[in-house]
Structure 1
Amino acid sequence: MFPYPMSTRPVADPAAVVRGERYRITVLTEGLVRLEYAEDGVFEDRASTFALNRCLPVPDFRVLETGGHLEIVTSRFRLTYDRGPFTTSGLSLAVRGGVTAYHSVWRYGQEAETLGGTARTLDNADGPVPLEPGVVSRTGFAVLDDSRSFLFEPDGWVAADNVGRTDLYVFAYGRDHAAALRAFHAVSGPAPVLPRYALGNWWSRYHDYTAESYLALMARFRADGIPFSVGVLDMDWHLVDIDPQHGSGWTGYTWNRELFPNPAKFLGRLHDAGLRVSLNVHPADGVRPFEEAYPAMSAALGRDPALGEPIAFDVTDRQFLAAYLEVLHRGLEADGVDFWWLDWQSGPHSRVAGIDPLWMLNHFHYLDNGRDGRRALTFSRYAGPGSHRYPVGFSGDTVVSWASLAFQPHFTATAANIGYGWWSHDIGGHFFGVRDDELATRWVQFGTFSPILRLHSMKNPFLVKEPWSFPPHVGAVMTAFLRLRHRLVPYLHTMNHRAAGEGLPLVLPMYYRDASCEDAYEVPHQYQFGTELVVAAITAPSDRRTGLGRVKAWLPPGGWVDVLTDMVYRGDRTMYLHRDLATIPVLARAGAIVPLDGAAVPGNDPVNPAHVELLVVVGADGEFELLEDDDAASLARTLIRFEQGPGTLTVGPVRGAAEAVPAVRTWTLTLPALDLAADAVATVDGAPVHAEVRQEGTRAAITVAQVSAAATLRIALGPDPRLRANDVAQRLFTLLNRAQIEYLTKTRVLDAATSEHSLAVRLSTLHALDLDEALLSAVVEVMTADVSP
């Protein structure tokens, strides 16, 4: 029944409320307080676009009366208020815990200096754009202003009559950034679990494909072993060349049957190939008389289609919105459309002041897409706090440039500060710029380790993203990373559930790892990628002479291994990392366990694999619970443990929805940067089984086939396995051999770096050679990577 009711609990427990005639203060958590002021003494208890759930367990707090002032004290803050209209002098909140020497006091009207949130769009961006505030900061407080948000009625419809009221949420979590995010989600609702298919590669291009050319392209990808789980059709799927009397062809709901003569058959063939399909819609121009659905829309709205009057887009009209979804979109979904790309580009204005059409489209499309109990998905721009409930985000049309790429890792990570974890960028950029094969490659590498990987470009015959359109060595790298993305889906889907259950997005800034470390705030191109990996994207051109890209990274304490190169690092320092075009730094800590699809060339549909590869970095105990499902609510859980002392990996029996995973599996344990004796022992439920042991360069791999999902697999490596030391001489030789420098300089550098002298003497000798800074930096990384600081 339209509109769709929501699960909300917007009325706070009265025990959490301190109220006067014109003010109301609600202590939502020990670090989050809602502050309301209204001259008429009427306060808002309906859900807002941000706040769905204010009925939380009442935290411990004290209310004190001091000389006419009201004080509210929790374990995290002390609020002082003079009971009058909110003013800078009359309302303040001090964050407890000594966050800073004197900056941790918020006063009403003061703009909080947060660590940033995100932005509505990157349309036309060629580098950084201003970010809206987030809910975490270095001063310990952040403020979310909900005064102008529109509201939800109990039946799920909307209202915008909260004008003239002050409604603030003050987050006072010090530098406990994760706790601030948990409080945000407690009030605003969790991020939903994405359908598993959304985590694979998406193909998108603004191009007038035919059904035959699109299917041929997908067949070529399949033949080349390049998987895609989502096919996106930009606006040319519908009629665009229309009679000028109707306006532009930007908006459309009628298949172009010259290009797609049988839409249902076309979409069925894509489904048969393992892809889901999204169509682009620009709804702002409404429904014009030339649309196939115009008679049905007119009937649904009680209009006479013979008059030929256009039906204006009015997202604030219940009847129109019901017909918009039920007639226009469900009719096309019957052909096989899985979800919609809502390309709203017409600003925040509607016929009702305060109602943002983008919000309405995101909200109701998402609910409608999940109407049959399936996992819902939309693809649209960010509309403000609370938008995390409607993934996936379309970040907009960016310029093809290094500046655009350089901003995207930071932009993606800081979005976590407002709970927005599922950004999808136009990987490779959308328009303008110049052809740069290195830039295109680096963008694909970042895309592989971003929330959603979607290749996209504008309608230009020269602006292409197919790997075979690039020189062979470039195309090979792109292909490898696109395959890797699908291999990562078991890990990504586990993080997908973690984001929903724990409120921590897949991509997090490094300061979530250690908020007290200054260095963690100074690495904008580096981020956490789930619980096990740290990625440092290379977003600037390689040095011409070394052929290496460079990125500054902070390595937290402990041992680390780059799982793409097996380079070993000792952490607790900031350093420059260098990579050739084939790779970027992807680091896993000692004890990390990363599950992968074991197929070298995965298929399009990223189903739960029959062969699972586990990347395990030795050096510390580790644990990982692999979460799998069949896009239903029930979960299959497989607990995986590594114990450093005995050197034992244990894969426990599946618990929960065992029917969601293969009954029998092959498991491969891959150990980066490890020398392994050939006497590793494997058992299944205590009985010895055959294990195939392979040494592949700097890593070892152990494979055990035909293991029941109900059994316990144990692989014993031997006591206290260790990471191997980097082969400094060989790595330096490779670096210098590639470098476009004088041959004499190469030998002098290698001799100095590999001499018998102490590290300090070797480094000072290298500095005295007056080398180019880029070369010296790369050489020093190799020499010192696995040396304890």
Structure 2
Amino acid sequence: MTGMTRRGLNVAWCGLALALTGIIGAPAHADTPAMHGRAAPAAIVQRGQVRFTILTAQLIRMEWSPDSRFVDDPSQIFIDRDQPVPHFTVTTSGGKLRIETASLQLSYVLGSGKFDARNLQIRSRKLAPAFDWHPGDPETGNLHGTARTMDRYSGDINIDSGKRLDLGQGLLSRDGWHVVDDSTSFLFDADLRWQWAKPRGCADCQDLYFFGYGHRYQRALGDYAAVAGRQPMPPRFAFGYWWSRYWNYSDREMRDLVGDFERYQIPLDVMVIDMDWHRTDDLSWDAKYVKRDEVGESVGWTGYTWNRSLFPEPDRFLGWLHDHKLKTTLNLHPASGIPAREESYPASAKAMGVTDGAPVPFEAADKRFVQNWFDKTLDPLARQGVDFWWLDWQQWPNSKLMPGLSNTWWLNYVFYTRMQQTSQNRALIYHRWGGLGNHRYQIGFSGDSVISWASLAYQPYFTATASNVLYGYWSHDIGGHFFAETTPESQRHIDPELYVRWMQFGAFSPILRTHSSKEAGLRKEPWRFSPEVLAALRQTVALRYQLAPYIYTASRQAYDSGVSILRPLYYAWPEQPEAYRATGEYMFGDDMLVAPVTQPLQNGVASVSIWLPPGRWYDDNRGEVIEGGRTIVRDYLLDEVPLFVRAGAAIPMNPASVHKLQDADDGRLVVRVLPGGGAKTRVYADAGDSEAYRNGDYAFTAIETTRDARQAKVTIRPREGSYAGMPDSRQIAVELASAAFPQRVTVNGVAYPRSDDGRQGSWHYDGESLTARIVLPAQQAGATLSVTIAFPDGAPRIDGLLYRMKRTAAAVAWLKEQWEPPVPLPDDVSLAGQLGRLIDYHPEQLAALIAAFDARSAKLVQEVNETRAKPEVKAEFARKIRAI
């Protein structure tokens, strides 16, 4: 086939597979990414027993084979070696082979055998830090990866053994290099219907991948994503709120639960149903009472037949959930295979040739078993309405059929690719980390962490570090899973403050999912808490849904670049020592820095020390722009989150009315523009739940902003691209945070009127949030929108006013609770606590109202001291006011 490219040859073979579909089974989904194990010939340098493949200027594959036979099959880790060939040179002199790229210089002593410190050397070129590497050199600066589970950890300490959690090696190192030894990983065969694992044929061969990048960490991640596969985007609904609790819910109870979410107007997209959906008879946590089944596994874990006492008609129950726009996942522990008690047993036993009534044995590496497992057992459940699977493998580590093949890793591959083959929806599973390469099969769950402040404090670091192996979609048991056995009975209840703080971290995490163990006191429904806590929880979930366009855009960026949504600060500031020490902070997308509160309140506030990287940052809590490159200390009330956004950034958001992320894209968008400069950004959109995003079915909308004290300008460019179901028009609102009262607003040169009812084609000013909001009518998505907001000369400074308003209102509210009737509060005190409302009534008087507020604030302590309030009340009020 002269002239046909390797990828073209794969397409030809795919066409042949389609023609044979009726004979040999279903092919991969049309949008499933192909594997290209063989590199371009021009990238390969072979000399006898060694072969070097120049994958990028920073990444070289190095193979040694005693019989000069090399591997061109995709491996578990590296699936696409057919990359654009970078420029490099090859020379031979003095018995040494030398290969030079723009970044690396490799030297190998020809004919000297296996790679070792004597015969192989790689030096950096124009990289910082410089390095001179030989096989066996210690990697002292590795920045770690992630772990399979956090089961029974409080923070990073296992409560049983006292050992610290081992996060293993990541791809990034302060040394500037890292080596992945792929010599023993399994390979994929050439079966285009469903590629399967096979062992390597050479036990002595070496297969190494040298990453040399200096501190250009993001480039290293991009190289890895290109060769090891990209982080797939979860469907849009996965970025909503997941409700999960290990509890033997019934059909009626789950309907009541959903009704409460709707009644309290708390958004929800995913309903997780733990293992009690099937029969769990004889299950015991107590080792004295554990019963073993025919294959030696604990009875009750494995099950595929609905518990009809809880769910009398599963089809109707799942249909009801879908009617309420909820996606559903069921928990699986498949170790016992298919026992005789299962409804699918007769068909499964017949298909597998089991005739004696014994269980159909489980073996994930047996393609025949797996195919029948799906055909006879799992796919019928999916047809009932199960949208994706929660794969909770906790049993033996490696395959019995293929020793050394991780069951966790392989099951993740099997479930994910099966969904790609058989479903029109975007593939999604929910599982444990299985090792390098598993980033291709999202989403992870971190397991049963202990309920403690230490666990919360550790999870930001744990989640950020996982991005060093591209595992960018960890979901945690928000609120913690269980109480340590040493926790006194009197304390075995949810700490509301801890739960709020954990939920706030969850809102700024890849996945927001609450979960807990089967214990009556572990009730995390938001409406079970005090009004103050309920309000904080509702606010947190609402913020998550508003931020969904920003998060979804960041997910696309992760797919394209290899840089996860949640990542450490040192990606962007690799030469700043503080970026490595600030383990409680992380970047959330390109523009947001988050430092979750992970300690209890003291005197009503939590004090947080935050390192701000160089540049200008908008303090979202205080409403002010501040300079970075320093460490600051800020205090936070229960409903406040340490969030800092790049000054001048434009954040794409949903309107507050969006409560379901799986709803079709209707073109509504809020662009929140922050003070302090300008920005260029793009907002991503696609169909939300199809694999077609991999092949060009998506769109971007470019947004450009500038903002200073005199004027703000927002330009929204025509949408570029297309996807199925894309709306023809878009309805956009522009919000200017911490803004003065506008003098004039124009859209495409046409003046907009002020209208406090917020109707389309007008603008208004929100006094409670100090936000100018311009509501545009729906317009064709191919049109350019130019919004200009002019501010008057001498407009009052708004920086920091939001913080002073909130804190003063909180101090006044506290004072009212301590006040003794019937004497009213002093007038100035009452009015000082209502500045936002006063501005909302008369925003055109903003300057005068701020001046009056400042005057009142200066004498609040004196006025209260002149009353008959108790001395301790006067003292505490004075402390609160002076802290503002």
**TM-score, reference length from structure 2:** 0.79
Distance apart, 1:124 and its partner CA: 1.5
Equivalent AA in structure 2 for residue 209 of structure 1: Y
Q: Deviations over 1:50-94 (max 9, x none)?
A: 100111122122233353333322221222322422222332322
C-alpha separation in 1, matches of 2:34 and 2:396: 28
Task: Tell whether the 8 Å contact from 1:514 to 1:520 is kept in structure 2 after alignment.
Answer: yes
Q: Is 1:69 the equivalent of 2:96?
A: yes
* Structure 2 counterpart of 1:770: none
Indicate the larger mover: 518-527 or 214-223: 518-527
Q: Deviations over 1:270-308 (max 9, x none)?
A: 01111100000001111100000001111222333xx21
* Structure 1 counterpart of 2:432: 381
* Structure 2 counterpart of 1:394: 445
Task: Tell whether the 8 Å contact from 1:644 to 1:719 is kept in structure 2 after alignment.
Answer: no
Equivalent AA in structure 2 for residue 714 of structure 1: S
C-alpha separation in 1, matches of 2:728 and 2:424: 26
The equivalent position to 1:508 in structure 2, one of 553, 562, 567, is 567
**Equivalent residue of 1:680, what SS?**
strand
The equivalent position to 1:14 in structure 2, one of 24, 35, 41, is 41
* Structure 2 counterpart of 1:161: 200
Equivalent AA in structure 2 for residue 228 of structure 1: L
Distance 1:462 1:10, change over 3 A: same
**Equivalent residue of 1:323, what SS?**
helix
Q: Deviations over 1:318-376 (max 9, x none)?
A: 11010112211101011100000000111421111122221221112111112234211
C-alpha separation in 1, matches of 2:177 and 2:524: 43
Task: Tell whether the 8 Å contact from 2:99 to 2:106 is kept in structure 1 after alignment.
Answer: yes
The equivalent position to 1:52 in structure 2, one of 79, 97, 106, is 79
Task: Tell whether the 8 Å contact from 2:745 to 2:788 is kept in structure 1 after alignment.
Answer: yes
* Structure 2 counterpart of 1:41: 68
The equivalent position to 2:258 in structure 1, one of 218, 243, 256, is 218
Mapping of residues 193-272 of structure 1, within 5 Å = 193-241=233-281, 248-272=299-323
Task: Tell whether the 8 Å contact from 1:563 to 1:672 is kept in structure 2 after alignment.
Answer: no
Task: Tell whether the 8 Å contact from 1:685 to 1:713 is kept in structure 2 after alignment.
Answer: no
Equivalent AA in structure 2 for residue 29 of structure 1: T
**Equivalent residue of 1:208, what SS?**
coil
* Structure 2 counterpart of 1:696: 767
C-alpha separation in 2, matches of 1:597 and 1:679: 25
Distance apart, 1:565 and its partner CA: 4.4
Q: Is 1:134 the equivalent of 2:163?
A: no
Distance apart, 1:663 and its partner CA: 4.3
Gaps of at least 5 residues in structure 2 are: 1-23, 157-164, 284-290, 485-491, 754-759, 816-853, 856-875
Distance 1:698 1:289, change over 3 A: closer
Distance 1:693 1:685, change over 3 A: closer
* Structure 2 counterpart of 1:709: 780
C-alpha separation in 2, matches of 1:690 and 1:193: 35
Q: Is 1:276 the equivalent of 2:304?
A: no
Equivalent AA in structure 2 for residue 35 of structure 1: M
Distance apart, 1:601 and its partner CA: 6.1
Q: Is 1:330 the equivalent of 2:379?
A: yes
Task: Tell whether the 8 Å contact from 1:731 to 1:782 is kept in structure 2 after alignment.
Answer: no
Task: Tell whether the 8 Å contact from 2:549 to 2:654 is kept in structure 1 after alignment.
Answer: yes
* Structure 1 counterpart of 2:543: 484
The equivalent position to 1:726 in structure 2, one of 800, 807, 813, is 800
The equivalent position to 1:642 in structure 2, one of 690, 694, 705, is 705
Q: Is 1:475 the equivalent of 2:539?
A: no
The equivalent position to 2:353 in structure 1, one of 288, 302, 308, is 302
The equivalent position to 1:667 in structure 2, one of 707, 712, 732, is 732
Pick the structure with greater CA Rg.
Answer: 2
C-alpha separation in 2, matches of 1:736 and 1:96: 60
Distance 1:562 1:167, change over 3 A: same
Indicate the larger mover: 138-147 or 174-183: 138-147
Equivalent AA in structure 2 for residue 259 of structure 1: L
Distance apart, 1:659 and its partner CA: 6.4
**Equivalent residue of 1:219, what SS?**
helix
Indicate the larger mover: 452-461 or 497-506: 497-506
Equivalent AA in structure 2 for residue 596 of structure 1: M
Distance apart, 1:725 and its partner CA: 2.7
Distance 1:345 1:684, change over 3 A: farther
Distance apart, 1:98 and its partner CA: 5.2
Distance apart, 1:126 and its partner CA: 1.4
Task: Tell whether the 8 Å contact from 1:428 to 1:443 is kept in structure 2 after alignment.
Answer: yes
Q: Deviations over 1:609-649 (max 9, x none)?
A: 55422211132221222221223432233222213476211
Distance 1:729 1:663, change over 3 A: closer
Distance apart, 1:437 and its partner CA: 1.8
The equivalent position to 1:81 in structure 2, one of 108, 116, 122, is 108
Gaps of at least 5 residues in structure 1 are: 741-753, 756-774, 784-789
Q: How many residues align?
A: 743
Q: Deviations over 1:253-286 (max 9, x none)?
A: 0000000010010001101111100000001111
Task: Tell whether the 8 Å contact from 2:98 to 2:108 is kept in structure 1 after alignment.
Answer: yes
**Equivalent residue of 2:477, what SS?**
strand
* Structure 2 counterpart of 1:768: none
Q: Deviations over 1:705-756 (max 9, x none)?
A: 432233333221127999733248768867988999xxxxxxxxxxxxx99x
**Equivalent residue of 1:291, what SS?**
coil
Q: Is 1:179 the equivalent of 2:215?
A: no
C-alpha separation in 2, matches of 1:234 and 1:706: 45
Distance 1:674 1:584, change over 3 A: same
Task: Tell whether the 8 Å contact from 1:181 to 1:419 is kept in structure 2 after alignment.
Answer: yes
Mapping of residues 518-533 of structure 1, within 5 Å = 518-533=577-592
Q: Deviations over 1:490-534 (max 9, x none)?
A: 222222222112222111211111212222112111111112211
C-alpha separation in 2, matches of 1:77 and 1:171: 10
RMSD across aligned positions (CA): 2.9
Equivalent AA in structure 1 for residue 315 of structure 2: A
Distance apart, 1:132 and its partner CA: 1.8
The equivalent position to 1:577 in structure 2, one of 634, 638, 646, is 634
Distance 1:180 1:89, change over 3 A: same
* Structure 1 counterpart of 2:851: none
Q: Deviations over 1:228-258 (max 9, x none)?
A: 1110100000011059555501000000000
Task: Tell whether the 8 Å contact from 1:511 to 1:521 is kept in structure 2 after alignment.
Answer: yes
* Structure 1 counterpart of 2:521: 462
C-alpha separation in 2, matches of 1:258 and 1:732: 53
C-alpha separation in 2, matches of 1:58 and 1:519: 37
Distance 1:7 1:732, change over 3 A: closer
Mapping of residues 747-758 of structure 1, within 5 Å = none
Task: Tell whether the 8 Å contact from 2:75 to 2:186 is kept in structure 1 after alignment.
Answer: yes
* Structure 2 counterpart of 1:599: 656
The equivalent position to 2:611 in structure 1, one of 546, 554, 561, is 554
* Structure 1 counterpart of 2:150: 122
C-alpha separation in 1, matches of 2:622 and 2:373: 51
Task: Tell whether the 8 Å contact from 1:541 to 1:549 is kept in structure 2 after alignment.
Answer: yes
Q: Is 1:411 the equivalent of 2:470?
A: no
Q: Deviations over 1:472-492 (max 9, x none)?
A: 211211111112112221222
Task: Tell whether the 8 Å contact from 1:203 to 1:454 is kept in structure 2 after alignment.
Answer: yes
Q: Is 1:355 the equivalent of 2:355?
A: no
Distance 1:550 1:738, change over 3 A: farther
C-alpha separation in 1, matches of 2:66 and 2:96: 19
* Structure 2 counterpart of 1:149: 185
Distance 1:637 1:60, change over 3 A: closer
**Equivalent residue of 2:669, what SS?**
strand
C-alpha separation in 1, matches of 2:118 and 2:456: 44
Q: Structure 1 vs Structure 2: percent identity of aligned residues?
A: 37
Distance 1:526 1:582, change over 3 A: same
